[in-house]
Amino acid sequence: MTLEWVHPGLLLILGAWVLPFLKGRVKRVAMLILPAAALAACVRMSPGTYGEASFLGQDLVFGQVDELSLVFSYVFSIMALLGMVYALHVEDDSQHVAALTYAGGALGVTFAGDFLSLYVFWELMAVSSVVLVWRRRQASAVAAGFRYLLVHVVGGLILLAGIVLHWSQSGSLAFEHMGAFSGGTAWGLILVAFLLNAAVPPLGAWLPDAYAEATVTGGVFMSAFTTKSAVYVLIRGFAGTELLVWLGAAMAVYGVVYAVLENDARRLLAYHIISQVGYMVCGVGIGTPLAIMGATAHAFAHILYKALLFMGAGAVLQVTGLRRLSDMGGLYKTMPLTLGLYMVGAFAISAVPLFSGFVSKSMVISAAGEEHLALVFLLLSLASAGTFLHTGLKLPYYMFFGKDSGASGQEPPRNMLVAMGLAAVACVLIGVFPGLLYQHLPNAVIYVPYTLEHVTSTLGMLGFTALGFFLLLKHLDPERTISLDTDWFYRRGSAGFLALVQSRLARLEYDFVGELYEFVIRRPVLGAADLVRKLDSLVVDAAFVGVGRSTQTLSQVLKTAVDGHVQHYGLMMAIGVLGLLALAMLTL
Amino acid sequence: MNFLEKHLEDPVHFARIKRWFYVGLAVVVLAEIVLPRIFHGDQHHFSFESFPAWGSLYGLASCAAIIVVSKLIGKVWLMRREDHYDS
């Protein structure tokens, strides 16, 4: 690695360890300088290949820099900076170190040019982010953290298996488009591991489970990195894979359905991450230049507005200690600033004109239209309405308006408001000046978001979604329930499995397998052993005994010849010599 | 008493907001029907998009469908007591 190129991810990962040794104002300055330096390193980077190293005879590339990796690195480092501003007041070094390592891991994945370094940063993200869950230090958070780790360790192993298989088949570790290996086992394993991190159902239940249990500031970091770095590697490796079109569209609707049922504010937002990532996965699957551009732009916009939404819900959680929508209400009186900033994020995710989602989400939907995928187009539009319904209407209604719960609120610490303000400014800037974002996108296709029809039909759609919301309001009252998701399989399913093992399976083992063992294994084996033993005593032993006896007899005979008298030996030798002479004379 | 409180707590103000909301909806629907005919906007990808006020209709239908279908799935299958995983 040369001095001209500094890996922004390593800067964060190594720099984070300085923080525990600093105090007070110096520490807070360092908390901001580290992500700012990483952002600066990303901005001054130009496309090329940097940081090459050799390991086990393989070329590792830590700095694969092109337009795609650059735009993701910008938003990851901006996000790290916003997250640190939001977390400035937190007096917990382990959270700061974990958050910066997590962000550094995402940057490492972004710049990885080979599978091995990709894998290392991939695992680093999982291990560091789980700390952000555990540090809430409640029993439910610790348990959720272990489940999160379990899922990601399995995902990591699947990825590793895929990488090793791919390496042995292709002889190369380079991380390139996997289209040439489509349908192979290695291709499938790597795809599954990527889909798991992108939270594609049925592999996505870890996301709402963990994100809703994370610390207030940790949840903000988590909303940004894992799923979007997975979208990035999907674009790199699997653009144009048709399966992703349908998974993405289904995912967009799936998140919306669960959001209707959800009562926990951050779980609701987490299900909307799944829904929004659905648009990106769908765009990756469509694979046209416009679709890839849309997926990238939407990832960029999404990270900023979703962070803002998590910051808003986190602020309410921090101030009131409430996480259930059914317990909140009436907070607009005491937290108007938080409400206003949250609503900017809500308008952005709902794709209201002049907010960032409007200029990014529509690109993916238009790409589906251009490819004449009518069902995908309709599903994504439906999910759009659902997004506004929940994030823009249901959540703020029950959190800030609705029935006054009497919960005492106040504005959160100033640094949290500043972070929310910065994120809100970014959402509006991108919405008003989409060129700011578009100029950094790969596959620069001309796309004009602000057409008359697009604006009017979007406004019509949002307006009538709002009408539907107010008409059906009484059906939307949050209920004190939780909803089953695929995490059931490792939360309840495993308990059921153990019960099955202990009761029925144990009896089955004793009654059936035991008997089967007796008849199929034990008796034949014992019978065969008996046979072999007899064979042994009859043939082998007899043979040895026979050899022994004949040796003994022979030696008895020889013993009589050896009597100790020299004259007898001489006589024997003479007979022998005479015999030899007679033989020689006869034959000659 | 801040700005929002004044408008939401007072029934007269609230009724006025409601009225403006309906007016807004009507304007949007009209704009959606009329404007494309005047300006001959961009090409549609699908024929159903040319249906008058398509965005508004689909928005309302989507909203209703999402709420009704999700609640149905939830009641029949997915929703459980909060302590479901604790026992």
- Average of pLDDT values for A283-309? 96
Give the residue among A218, A393, A410, A438 at the shortest CA–CA distance from A321.
Answer: A410
- Average of pLDDT values for A330-343? 92
- Average of pLDDT values for A342-355? 96
B1 pLDDT above the threshold of 70: no
Nearest-by-Cβ selection for B28 from A377, A463, A484: A463
Measured at the CA of A109, the angle between CA A59 and CA A22, to 5 degrees, comes to 110
Distance CA A273, CA A391 (A): 11
- Average of pLDDT values for A445-449? 89
- The pLDDT score that the predictor gives to residue A502 is 77
- Give the containing element (helix H, strand E) for A73: helix A67-86
Contact criterion met (CB < 8 Å) for A257 and B69: yes
Q: Which residue has the tokens 């939907």?
A: A365
Contact B44, A448 (CB under 8 A): no
Contact criterion met (CB < 8 Å) for A482 and B31: no
A504 pLDDT above the threshold of 80: no
- CB < 8 Å from B in window 385-424 of A: 385-386, 389, 401
Contact criterion met (CB < 8 Å) for A456 and B60: no
The answer to whether residue B34 neighbours chain A at the CB level (below 8 Å) is no
Q: Which residues contact A128 (CB under 8 A, 6 or more apart)?
A: A98, A99, A101, A102, A105
A410 by DSSP, 3-state: which? Answer: coil
Tally C-beta pairs within 8 A across A and B: 157
HEC assignment per residue over A225-279: HHHHHHHHHHHHHHCCCHHHHHHHHHHHHHHHHHHHHCCEHHHHHHHHHHHHHHH
Beta strand residue intervals within A194-233, DSSP E: none
Q: What's the whole-model pTM score?
A: 0.85
Average pLDDT, chain A: 92
Contact criterion met (CB < 8 Å) for A483 and B31: no
Length, in residues, of chain B: 87
Distance CA A190, CA A167 (A): 12
A111-115, A179-183, A367-371, B2-6: least confident range: B2-6
User: What is the ipTM, given to two decimal places?
Assistant: 0.94
A contacts of B24 (beta carbons < 8 Å) = 463
A495 pLDDT above the threshold of 80: no
A293-302, A386-395, A404-413, B58-67: least confident range: A404-413
A584 pLDDT above the threshold of 90: no
The residue ranking higher by pLDDT, A561 or A395, is A395
- The pLDDT score that the predictor gives to residue B42 is 64
Q: Which of B14, B63, B84 to mutate to test the interface with A (most CBs of A within 10 A)?
A: B63
The answer to whether residue B33 neighbours chain A at the CB level (below 8 Å) is no
A contacts of B80 (beta carbons < 8 Å) = 481-484
A408-422, A554-568, B50-64: least confident range: A554-568
Cβ of A257: how many Cβ atoms within 10 Å?
21
- The pLDDT score that the predictor gives to residue A517 is 82
Query: pLDDT > 90: what percent of chain A?
Result: 75
Contact criterion met (CB < 8 Å) for A370 and B28: no
Contact criterion met (CB < 8 Å) for B69 and A483: no
Q: How far is CA A130 from the centre of its chain?
A: 12
A256 pLDDT above the threshold of 80: yes
A190 pLDDT above the threshold of 90: yes
CA dihedral A138, A143, A148, A152 (to 10 degrees): 130
| Residue A60, beta-bridge partner list | A53
CA dihedral A127, A129, A135, A138 (to 10 degrees): -90
Beta strand residue intervals within A373-439, DSSP E: none
Query: Chain B closest CA to A480's CA: distance in Å?
Result: 7
Instruction: Output the six-digit token pair for A126.
Output: 């999982």
Q: Which of B58, B68, B72, B86 to mutate to test the interface with A (most CBs of A within 10 A)?
A: B58
- The pLDDT score that the predictor gives to residue A474 is 87
Residue pLDDT, tens place only, A397-412: 999 988 888 878 899 9
Question: Which amino acid, residue A511?
Answer: D
Strands A481-483 and B79-81, sheet pairing = antiparallel
Query: Chain A closest CA to B32's CA: distance in Å?
Result: 6
B contacts of A382 (beta carbons < 8 Å) = 58, 62, 65-66
The answer to whether residue A365 neighbours chain B at the CB level (below 8 Å) is no
Query: Chain A closest CA to B35's CA: distance in Å?
Result: 8
A97-106, A371-380, A446-455: least confident range: A446-455
In this prediction, residue A1 has a pLDDT band, given cuts at 50, 70 and 90, of very low
A10-13 CB contacts, 8 Å cutoff, 24+ apart: A10/A104, A10/A108, A11/A37, A11/A38, A11/A41, A11/A104, A12/A38, A12/A80, A12/A100, A12/A101, A12/A103, A12/A104, A12/A107, A13/A100, A13/A101, A13/A104, A13/A105, A13/A108, A13/A124
Residue pLDDT, tens place only, A412-428: 999 999 999 999 999 99
Query: Chain B closest CA to A368's CA: distance in Å?
Result: 9
Distance CA A370, CA A378 (A): 13
Burial grade of A167 (CB within 10 A; 0-12, 13-18, 19 or more): middle
Query: pLDDT > 70: what percent of chain A?
Result: 99
Query: Chain A closest CA to B19's CA: distance in Å?
Result: 12
| Residue A53, beta-bridge partner list | A60
Contact A213, A270 (CB under 8 A): no
- The pLDDT score that the predictor gives to residue A231 is 97
| Alpha helices, H only, A433-540 | 435-438, 452-471, 488-491, 493-500, 506-508, 514-516, 523-535
Distance CA A38, CA A74 (A): 9
A81-85, A115-119, A232-236, A550-554: least confident range: A550-554
- Give the containing element (helix H, strand E) for A365: helix A356-370
Contact A219, A213 (CB under 8 A): no
A444 pLDDT above the threshold of 90: no
Burial grade of A492 (CB within 10 A; 0-12, 13-18, 19 or more): middle
A166 by DSSP, 3-state: which? Answer: helix
Contact criterion met (CB < 8 Å) for A482 and B32: no
- CB < 8 Å from B in window 230-269 of A: 256-258, 260-261
Q: Which residue has the tokens 């024997």?
A: A572
Question: Which amino acid, residue A381?
Answer: S
Return the axis-axis angle of helices A356-370 and A336-349, rounded to nearest 10°.
20
Residue pLDDT, tens place only, A3-40: 578 999 999 999 999 999 999 999 999 999 999 999 99
- The pLDDT score that the predictor gives to residue A2 is 47
DSSP assignment of chain B: --HHHHHHHSHHHHHHHHHHHHHHHHHHHHHHHHHHHHH--SPPSSGGGGSTTHHHHHHHHHHHHHHHHHHHHIIIIIEEETTTTT-
Residue pLDDT, tens place only, A150-174: 999 999 999 999 999 999 999 899 9
